[in-house]
């Protein structure tokens, strides 16, 4: 039986050429798998047909938009997932769901190898291959661009020679990856980190310099998951899509960052994630209202580690699963409404309400009705500061007290 390779297929030049390139280099038949995670663009049926026209023996397409939104974007939201406190893991959370479908196809079509179109310099090669071997340790991995020396110039020449039904051009200034959670743009003139991004870089967001009238939205959460916008019930996918539209119109979610890649180099990346950033802003504020202080402090540490693991391609790792359990438990009382004002590139919280709130008006108020016993503060301060007081007394005893200087008050 001829060996088979499952290829993560996007419908673009590189993966279209990779079908024949892999077949010629390895003698294997290629099964193309395209996964829709809300990237928009061409119809999946057209992509499937293109794969067959380029030589695939089988072509499989999957509409994974709801699955991606519910099982991958929502855990990222629960974790307030931001790599380097800025990047909402647009690509990092999409690779595991794509890999899940690749492995499923490999089992269905009897493939022994899974291939992807990543280079040897990026993060995605790690995300794909670590995820593949985490789900199916017996499968082999292949990266034609990296392993079979498939350069862009060779890809264009191959496509023209074999008259493949794919547009070939040497002028493509950016490398773009997008899904419903956001859009990532790199390369081209952006590699000079002094260059400002131009208008043609952006697609999900409008210029926030001249925004339309402010847009106010009320987001309702149930255990950390958005379930309604302005009182209208929504699925996770619908919530992201609608906020992409509304927050995007206000220029919310533009990110320009030099980030630390997993492979050890720094890379300048432009992201736009209007829906994701608006939801994270709202979710964080609802947690401020509903999470206990020590729980919230510890969760911030967990969020950072969770984001690093996902960025580094460890979605299916034991530690990430352990952190998922903790994060999921913290969401038990993260329910209520957050009012956001979307305007001029910002998503600003202007109101919060929750039946599970830990905010007590009578404890917080300085006006009539104050129920806080202020006399308790004296003893609290004595005990709270006792260890520092004892240490300071020792410092004075041994001549190591704080130098107050000679100046006059």
Segment (H or E) for 128: helix 124-135
| In contact, 152 and 181? CB cutoff 8 Å | no
Find the largest Cα–Cα distance for the chain.
91
Is 123 annotated in a binding site? The answer is: yes
4, 48, 124, 346: the catalytic one is 124
Is 271 annotated in a binding site? The answer is: yes
| In contact, 272 and 203? CB cutoff 8 Å | yes
Residue 95 is among the residues annotated as catalytic for this protein: yes
Is 203 annotated in a binding site? The answer is: no
Residue 14 is among the residues annotated as catalytic for this protein: yes
Residue among 17, 42, 43, 44 at smallest CA distance from 30: 17
Segment (H or E) for 377: helix 376-384
Is 29 annotated in a binding site? The answer is: no
| In contact, 152 and 41? CB cutoff 8 Å | no
- What would the DSSP string read from start to end of 235-304? -HHHHHHHHHHHHHHTTTTEEEEEEE-TTS-EEEEEEE-HHHHHHHHHHHHHHHHHS-HHHHHHHHHHHH
Is 175 annotated in a binding site? The answer is: yes
Is 10 annotated in a binding site? The answer is: yes
Residue among 100, 113, 165, 180 at smallest CA distance from 144: 113
Is 290 annotated in a binding site? The answer is: no
Q: Strand pairing of 175-179 and 182-186?
A: antiparallel
Length of the chain: 409
Is 403 annotated in a binding site? The answer is: no
Is 376 annotated in a binding site? The answer is: no
Is 124 annotated in a binding site? The answer is: yes
C-alpha dist (Å) from residue 308 to 14, 85, 133, 171, 206: 29, 10, 19, 34, 29
Report the distance separating Cα 220 and Cα 286, nearest Å: 10
Is 27 annotated in a binding site? The answer is: no
43, 107, 175, 394: the catalytic one is 175
Is 11 annotated in a binding site? The answer is: yes
Which residue in the block uniquely carries the two structure tokens 């870089």?
A: 201
Which residue in the block uniquely carries the two structure tokens 């410092």?
A: 395
Is 333 annotated in a binding site? The answer is: no
48, 95, 183, 346: the catalytic one is 95
| 3-state secondary structure (DSSP) of residue 346 | strand
C-alpha dist (Å) from residue 167 to 12, 106, 150, 164: 8, 28, 17, 8
Residue 367 is among the residues annotated as catalytic for this protein: no
Is 15 annotated in a binding site? The answer is: yes
Residues that are catalytic = 14, 95, 124, 175
Binding site residue list: 8-16, 87, 117, 119, 123-124, 127, 175, 259, 271
Binding site residue list for ATP: 8-16, 117
Binding site residue list for L-aspartate: 119, 123-124
């Amino acid at each position: 039986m001829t060996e088979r390779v499952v290829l993560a297929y996007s419908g673009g030049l590189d993966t279209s050429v990779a079908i024949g390139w892999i077949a010629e280099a390895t003698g294997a038949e290629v099964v193309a798998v395209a996964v829709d995670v809300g990237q928009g663009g061409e119809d999946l049926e057209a992509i499937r047909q293109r794969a067959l026209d380029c030589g695939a023996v089988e072509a499989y397409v999957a509409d994974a938009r709801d699955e991606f939104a519910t099982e991958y974007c929502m855990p990222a939201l629960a974790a307030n997932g931001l790599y380097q406190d800025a990047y909402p893991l647009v690509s990092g959370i999409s690779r595991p769901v794509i890999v899940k479908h690749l492995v499923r196809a490999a089992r269905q079509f009897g493939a022994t190898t899974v291939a992807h179109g990543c280079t040897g310099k990026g993060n995605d090669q790690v995300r794909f291959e670590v995820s593949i071997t985490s789900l199916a340790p017996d499968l082999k991995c292949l990266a034609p661009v990296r392993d079979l020396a498939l350069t862009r110039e060779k890809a264009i020449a191959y496509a023209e020679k074999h008259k493949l039904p794919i547009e070939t051009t040497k002028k493509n200034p950016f490398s773009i990856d997008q899904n419903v959670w956001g859009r990532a743009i790199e390369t081209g003139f952006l590699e000079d980190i002094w260059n400002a991004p131009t208008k043609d870089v952006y697609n999900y967001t409008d210029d926030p310099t001249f925004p339309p009238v402010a847009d106010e939205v009320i987001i309702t959460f149930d255990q950390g998951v958005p379930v309604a916008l302005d009182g209208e019930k929504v699925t996770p996918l619908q919530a992201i899509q609608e906020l992409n539209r509304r927050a995007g119109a206000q220029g919310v979610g533009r990110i320009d960052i030099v980030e630390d890649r997993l492979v050890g180099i720094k890379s300048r990346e432009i992201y736009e994630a209007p829906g994701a950033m608006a939801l994270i802003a709202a979710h964080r504020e609802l947690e401020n209202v509903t999470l206990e202080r020590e729980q919230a402090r510890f969760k911030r540490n967990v969020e950072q580690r969770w984001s690093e693991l996902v960025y580094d391609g460890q979605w299916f790792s034991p530690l990430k699963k352990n952190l998922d359990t903790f994060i999921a438990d913290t969401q038990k009382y993260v329910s209520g409404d957050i009012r956001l004002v979307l305007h001029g590139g910002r998503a600003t919280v202007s109101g919060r309400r929750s039946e599970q709130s830990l905010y007590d008006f009578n404890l917080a108020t300085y006006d009539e009705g104050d129920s806080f016993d202020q006399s308790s503060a004296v003893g609290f301060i004595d005990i709270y500061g006792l260890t520092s007081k004892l240490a300071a007394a020792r410092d004075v005893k041994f001549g190591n007290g704080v130098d107050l200087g000679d100046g006059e008050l």
